[in-house]
Structure 1
Amino acid sequence: MVIQPRKRRRAPRGSGDLLRDQILDATTELLLETGHAKAVSIRSVAQRVGVTPPSIYLHFADKDALLDAVCSRYFEKLDEEMQRVAADQPSTIEVLRAQGHAYVNFARRTPELYRLATMGEGRPGSDVDTALNSSAFQHMRAAMEALIAEGVYPPGDATMLALELWTAAHGVAAILISKPYLPWGDVEEFTDRVLRAVCTGQIVSGIIGTDLEPMETIARLKGLADEFADGGKP
């Protein structure tokens, strides 16, 4: 694949942030075009932007730092999408469900970047870790804290609850991206069933308890269903 350099005029003083954004844009474009981080080099990015490789190193220490920055910006965009859909929801539980849908849909629209951002090799303290801990994940955690405060979810560790939802959303996104040919049926409906099970599962656990064996759980749920069917109160 031949990377065509862009003709670029010398940047004026104080335009370092602009060049940094152009570098990130070029790296993102190359990742989308090649489909793999290994196919993207500092030299190819420099050619795409229209600068020399040393100009890249003025902003990023190495290729790993550059890819971290791309992933960090990706998660910022993901968070923006999740917050956009959350603003239209009537309740906190619907916010959580909508955020899960937004996560999966965003990943499916940008599969190459999603693979890099969530399934690439991570390093503690990297920009990617910082983004995960401060943007989309933190908003999920805030929703969990709100549900606990509202009495919808039982008292618990909001971080762990957010990790559970993130795991479910990631699992759906990853399998839909890697195995699109499986008989999923309507993808939106499939996603909703999984997310609904996770979001409401904590509510059910809070009602019947979390220390029951599977058969005890089934028996208790059947008992509650029978009481409601008979017009009684649990």
Structure 2
Amino acid sequence: MSVEPLRRRRAPRGAGDQLRDEILDAATELLLETGDAKAVSIRSVAQRVGVTPPSIYLHFADKGAMLDAVCVRYFEKLDEEMQALASQAGSPVDVLRAQGMAYVRFALRTPELYRIATMEPGHPGSDVDMMLNSSAFGHLRAAVEALIAEDIYPPGDPTTLALELWTAAHGVAALLISRPYLPWGDVEQFADRVMRSVCCGQVLSAAIGETDPPQETVTWLKEVVDERHR
């Protein structure tokens, strides 16, 4: 039995952006409901909006372009949250750690969208990657640059250091989403321990030579910890 799309009142002239937003809203709702990008089609989105499939193609070349637009809008919201954190008072390392936690929390609030946006095969130069570069990754890189400028982090390529931090945040988020049954304990505390270790670990790396034997480094660090405890 076929289901006819709901009749939608024709939008006034110049209201194309409104229809585009309605399409993205409908696609987002279907993604959250199904948790599977394969279950979302141009036809199902058109039915939910109340238009015909050709109306969708006026705004998006194909399903892939539509889902990319959903992901771009998704990361725009993350951008707003990380901007708010960057403007708060506090040391650069506190800001960086808070941004990493904001990233993880954001992913856990909408795991289906995060999975589709970051765990599906990507392609260089995509709108999604460009949005990530200017939002989440851009904020991490700016925080790293501030830490290098204040001689807290060792001199180096801020892009590489930011990629290391992003890898840690994404790894935590991806595993918590895909393997929720593992014995994580308190998820918030687990994620914070990882971000704290990664952020502070960059400070210690300046004192560790590339050729230093690992055991010597461990012994030195233990002496520092013991001295602080005393």
Q: Does the pair score TM above 0.5?
A: yes
- Please list the CA deviations of residues 80-101 of structure 1 after superposition, one character each: whole Å capped at 9, or x if unmatched: 1222234334111111111111
Show the counterpart of 1:147: 147
Q: Secondary structure at the match of 2:128?
A: helix
Amino acid at match of 2:219: A
Show the counterpart of 1:27: 27
Q: Does 1:66 align with 2:66?
A: yes
**Alignment check: 8 A CA contact 1:153 1:203 kept:** yes
Q: 1:115 to 1:108 in 2, by over 3 A?
A: same
Show the counterpart of 2:179: 179
1:181 deviation in Å? Answer: 1.8
Amino acid at match of 2:117: A
**Alignment check: 8 A CA contact 2:5 2:52 kept:** no
1:139, 1:127 → 2: CA distance?
Answer: 18
Q: Does 1:43 align with 2:43?
A: yes
Amino acid at match of 2:177: I
TM-score, structure 2 normalization: 0.93
Q: 1:100 to 1:229 in 2, by over 3 A?
A: closer
> How do 1:33-182 and structure 2 match up within 5 A?
33-182=33-182
Show the counterpart of 1:212: 212
Q: Secondary structure at the match of 1:208?
A: coil
Q: 1:223 to 1:61 in 2, by over 3 A?
A: same
Structure 1 unaligned residues grouped into runs of 5+? none
Q: 1:228 to 1:208 in 2, by over 3 A?
A: farther
Query: Alignment length, in residue pairs?
Result: 229
2:137, 2:212 → 1: CA distance?
Answer: 30
Structure 2 unaligned residues grouped into runs of 5+? none
Amino acid at match of 1:160: T
Q: Does 1:222 align with 2:222?
A: yes
TM-score, structure 1 normalization: 0.91
The 10-residue stretch of structure 1 (201-210 or 23-32) with the greater mean CA deviation from structure 2: 201-210
1:187 deviation in Å? Answer: 1.0
1:3, 1:120 → 2: CA distance?
Answer: 30
Q: 1:106 to 1:225 in 2, by over 3 A?
A: closer
Q: 1:228 to 1:102 in 2, by over 3 A?
A: closer
Amino acid at match of 1:133: N
Amino acid at match of 2:206: G
1:179 deviation in Å? Answer: 1.5
2:148, 2:3 → 1: CA distance?
Answer: 52
2:194, 2:226 → 1: CA distance?
Answer: 26
**Alignment check: 8 A CA contact 2:82 2:102 kept:** yes
The 10-residue stretch of structure 1 (157-166 or 2-11) with the greater mean CA deviation from structure 2: 2-11
**Aligned CA-pair RMSD:** 1.9
1:93, 1:4 → 2: CA distance?
Answer: 55
**Alignment check: 8 A CA contact 2:68 2:128 kept:** yes
1:225 deviation in Å? Answer: 4.2
1:100, 1:108 → 2: CA distance?
Answer: 13
Amino acid at match of 1:51: V
**Alignment check: 8 A CA contact 1:76 1:136 kept:** no
1:213, 1:45 → 2: CA distance?
Answer: 59
The 10-residue stretch of structure 1 (120-129 or 79-88) with the greater mean CA deviation from structure 2: 79-88
Q: Secondary structure at the match of 1:207?
A: coil
2:123, 2:202 → 1: CA distance?
Answer: 32
